[in-house]
Structure 1
C-alpha cells in the first residue's frame, strides 16, 4: 500500500481522486493547493507519491514550476504526477513539458479513473 497526497483546489476533484486511489488500496490524504511559498505545507508526513493540480500558466515555468518544486521540497522522496485543465491529452514522462517540470507524467483534467490509476502505477514503478 502506497501513501499518496492529493493536492487540488477543487474539493470535488480531491474527493474523487482520493476515492479512486483508496479503492486501489492506497492510503490517501488530501489538501487544497495554496499559491504561497511551500504550498501551505506545514509538517508534511512522508508520502510515496503526490498527485498535484498544476496552476494555470501560459508558458513552461512560472506558477506550475513553483508548485512542483514546492511539492518536491515538502515530499523529497515522492514522485509527482501533475494534473492540469490546460492539457488536451495526457503526457507521459518522456514529454518535454513533463521533463521540464520534473513530474512523472501530466494528466489532462478531467482524466479517467483508468488514466489516473495507470499513471500512479507507472510513477510508483509497479
Structure 2
C-alpha cells in the first residue's frame, strides 16, 4: 500500500507537469515542469523524501528498461537518421565535452571556495582595535 501511495504522489506531480505544459505557452517539456514541481515540493517540505523514496528508487532501478521503446523508435527511423548521423554524432561529442569541461571548472571553483571558507573559519580571530587587545 505504501508503494502505491508513493507512485500515486509521483503520478500526481507528473500530471501537474502535463497541465502546466498545456497552460503555459512555453516550449518546455512536461517532464521538466514535473521535475521542477517535485523539487519545489521536496524543498518546501510539502512532501518529505521518505514519502516518495522507495518508488523513486524502483523507477531508477528499472530505468534501462524504459529506454527500450526509444531505442526501437530510433531503429524504426534509421533511414531518416542515416544521412545526418555523422553530424549528430559530432555535435553530441562536442557538446558532451563542453558540458564535462564546464562541470569540471565549476566543481573546482566550488571546492576552492569551500577550502577558502574552511581556512578562514580556522584562523584565530584577529583583533580589530586596540581596545579589544586591552580587554583580553
- Range into which the TM-score falls when normalised by the shorter chain: under 0.3
TM-score when scaled to structure 2?
A: 0.19
Which is higher, the Rg of structure 1 or of structure 2?
A: 2
- Structure with higher helix content: 2
TM-score when scaled to structure 1?
A: 0.20
Greater length-normalized contact order (CA 8 Å, ≥ 6 residues apart)? 1
